[in-house]
């Protein structure tokens, strides 16, 4: 018990590991365009609309429907955070974020407004503002430093993975 009268629960290795590896919330919030706590087909369409067509895959209606059905374990037509997290944690490892590297690459592309392959201070600030996330200039600078970037050069894709704890 601590001085406030609360009983402290020890952090076990299992809970610490789970917390460290399951922080997909920022990626989930990027895709959940309408901020209703679940990813819909409309959210995925909006997300992929922000990715230039020249960057690879075509995300047509069939692909979007498949993405939803693969993750939607309770079959309600939406992907809630726990379903999203489970898919990314159980996906075969492909170099980062428990198999979510493909998704994270898409997130990076959406955030990289000028398409230069780096997230500048302006890219991060713009994304945070559009996502409704209130952050200070110092917090954005800290993210850039955490990612191994600098204010002039910005953050690489690998740096974004560091920001998300991957």
**Beta-sheet pairing, 38-39 with 79-80:** antiparallel
Q: Which CATH number fits domain 112-166: 3.40.190.10, 1.10.238.10, 2.60.120.560, 1.10.1380.10?
A: 1.10.238.10
Q: CATH class for domain 24-96?
A: mainly alpha
CA 91, 77, 39: angle at the middle one, nearest 5?
65
Give the confidence band of 13 by pLDDT, cuts at 50, 70, 90: very low
CATH 1.10.238.10 residue ranges of the chain are: 24-96, 112-166
- The 10s digit of each residue's pLDDT in 41-50 is 999 888 877 6
Reply yes or no on whether the pLDDT at 121 is more than 50: yes
Reply yes or no on whether the pLDDT at 135 is more than 50: yes
- DSSP string over the chain: --TTSPPPPPPPHHHHHHHHH---HHHHHHH-TT-SSEE-HHHHHHHHHTS-GGGS----HHHHHHHHHHH-TT-SSSEEHHHHHHHHHHSPP-SSGGGTHHHHHHHHHHH-TT-SSSB-HHHHHHHHHHTT----HHHHHHHHHHTT-BTTTBB-HHHHHHHTT-
In sequence order, the 6+-apart residues with CB closer than 8 A to the CB of 139 are none
- The 10s digit of each residue's pLDDT in 57-77 is 556 777 787 778 778 889 899
Reply yes or no on whether the pLDDT at 122 is more than 60: yes
């Amino acid at each position: 018990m601590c001085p406030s009268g609360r009983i402290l629960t020890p952090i076990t290795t299992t809970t610490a590991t789970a917390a460290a590896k399951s922080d997909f919330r920022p990626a989930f919030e990027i895709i959940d365009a309408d901020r209703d706590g679940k990813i819909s087909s409309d959210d995925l369409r909006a997300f992929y609309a922000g990715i230039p067509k020249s960057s690879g895959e075509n995300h047509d209606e069939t692909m979007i429907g498949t993405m939803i059905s693969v993750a939607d374990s309770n079959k309600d037509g939406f992907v809630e955070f726990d379903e999203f997290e489970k898919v990314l944690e159980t996906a075969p490892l492909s170099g980062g974020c428990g198999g979510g590297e493909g998704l994270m690459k898409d997130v990076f592309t959406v955030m990289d407004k000028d398409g230069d392959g780096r997230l500048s201070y302006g890219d991060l600030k713009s994304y945070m503002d559009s996502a409704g996330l209130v952050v200070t200039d110092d917090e954005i600078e800290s993210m850039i430093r955490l990612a191994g970037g600098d204010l002039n050069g910005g953050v690489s894709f690998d740096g974004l993975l560091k920001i998300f704890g991957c």
